[in-house]
Structure 1
Amino acid sequence: MTSLIFGDPVAWPDHDVVGISTEFSIGMVVEAYAHGVFPMPVEVHGSPEMAWFSPRRRGVLPLHGLRVTRSLRKMVKRYRVTADTAFDRVVAKCADPDREGAWINERIATLYGQLHQRGLAHSVECWDGDDNLVGGLYGVGLGGLFAGESMFHDPERGRDASKVALVRLVDFLNGAGGERLLDVQWRTDHLATLGVIEIDRYDYLDRLRQVLPTPAPSWASMPESWSI
């Protein structure tokens, strides 16, 4: 699975960053995800660059391994959930510089907006009873891969709304059929409570090869009703 841009995984360094570039384009990003790599902005000697990651230990959420607590099931009923109706707003919420660990900059937001326009990036939105956007997530979809990028929730109006978006995404992907992979980049303690596990880089790349030929799901058909 050698990439024309990122080379042979066997030659990648023994850490999560496999490359750094000043260039950042749609072609590079699509090539990256198709080969198990994703971008995040960094500064090198004060200059903005793009780092390209392929974690040695990759976080994935098995679609049949999701943990949904009783309280989360009850929380789901509070929200209306949609897909691809407010992509730019979800990205903007995820990029809020006041959020702890915020990393999304203008280059990322602009390019992923372009990916969305091409049907390669998608969002899941949670709305409260007053039609306020209170949570959501976004990521890249290629074939049977959905690579989650970021999620958010409104701490006052949308407690657990990001979890609801994730659970709803899993429900949707399970219903789409075929071999699918939900990538969350890294396993965190928070994500582990939902069933996220770690797998080796090469195991991830093997799974990626298997799912890329799977037809992409029809995001326009994602129902707002709850089926879990």
Structure 2
Amino acid sequence: MRKTIPQLDPDQPQFPPIHEALDYPDGLLAMGGNLEPETLVDAYQNGIFPWFNEGEPILWWSPNPRMVLYPDQLHISRSMNRFLKKHPYRVSFDEAFNEVMTACSSPRANQEGTWIIDEMKEAYSELHQQGFAHSVEVWSENKLMGGLYGVAIDKIFFGESMFSFATNTSKLAMISLCKELLRRNFRLVDCQIHSPHLESLGAKMISRDAFLKALKDGCRTPPTSAHWKLTGQWTAGPDERT
């Protein structure tokens, strides 16, 4: 018998325990609720994220296993190291959050439509204004060539989406993010679901229980509303990474 998906109250959503999420589709936990900042922060702190398409109700997920990347275990290939030493790009943080979201919503090969709809853009733009959501931008002069965005709470960064308009620019964004997260003593990047692209950078699958333990240890208190606002080209060689 198919399990009934809980319908969340749109005014006061309360998430069920994530162990109640479905095995198929993997991690579907609940529907409904809202995308207010306090709802999103509560979701992330409990290992839950929204993911739905235009015309669907808000769907909440907590897949098992979970792909994560430990910043201190970042893997950079020899070819990527060569790229880092001579790349022509400028990397910035929180300089063009809305533009990064728009770029992430651009059509992809073999993909119809996008889940980064206007409702999601508005919700995460508000999170950005409150200091929770952050972006990494890769620039060629004044043209955005790659980047990513996600949500930072305490010592966990919850990655949402990334894009690349030129070879290696999304990897450059992720490597730059991990370098900054190490400076700030972050413990983990939540990558949500498996991606060969992220696996090549050292991301791995862990169990839901292991992920919950990581949240318990590193996602206990919300951060201040301070934005990162760091800019500058990053050309670290292999001796500068950990």
With the length of structure 2 as denominator, give the TM-score of the two structures: 0.82
Distance 1:22 1:208 in 2: 22
Percent identity between the aligned chains?
34
Aligned partners of 1:209, 1:215: CA distance in 2, in Å?
13
Q: Which residue identity does 2:182 align to in structure 1? A: N
Matched residue of 2:72: which SS?
coil
Partner residue of 1:8 out of 14, 17, 31: 17
TM-score (norm: length of structure 1): 0.86
Aligned alpha-carbon RMSD (Å):
2.2
Secondary structure of the 1:6 match is coil
Q: Structure 1 counterpart of 2:131, which letter?
A: G
The one-letter amino acid paired with 2:16 is G
Query: Structure 2 matches for 1:25-104, cutoff 5 A?
Result: 25-42=36-53, 47-76=55-84, 77-97=87-107, 100-101=110-111, 102-104=114-116
Read off the aligned partner of 1:25 and give its amino acid letter.
E
Say if 1:175 and 1:82 are closer, same or farther in 2 by CA, change over 3 A.
Answer: same
Unmatched 5+ stretches in structure 1: none
Q: Secondary structure at the match of 2:57?
A: strand
Match of 1:109 in 2: 121
1:122-158 deviation per Cα after TM superposition (whole angstroms, max 9, x unaligned) = 0000012x3311000000111111011000111xxx2
Superimposed CA distance per residue, residues 66-88 of structure 1 (whole angstroms, 9 cap, x where no aligned partner): 11122212323321100000000
Which residue number corresponds to residue 150 of structure 1? Answer: 161
Could you tell me which runs of 5 or more consecutive residues in structure 2 were left unpaired when the two chains were aligned. Answer: 1-12
Segment drifting more, 55-64 vs 207-216? 207-216
Q: Shift of the alpha carbon at 1:223?
A: 5.0
**Which of the pair is proportionally richer in strand?**
1
Within 2, Cα distance between the matches of 1:65 and 1:210?
18
Matched residue count: 217
Q: Give the letter aligned to residue 93 of structure 2.
A: A
Q: Distance in 2 between matches of 1:113 and 1:218?
A: 13
* 1:112 counterpart letter in structure 2: Y
Amino acid at match of 1:30: V
Q: Structure 1's 201 and 222: CA in aligned 2 closer, same or farther, altered over 3 A?
A: farther
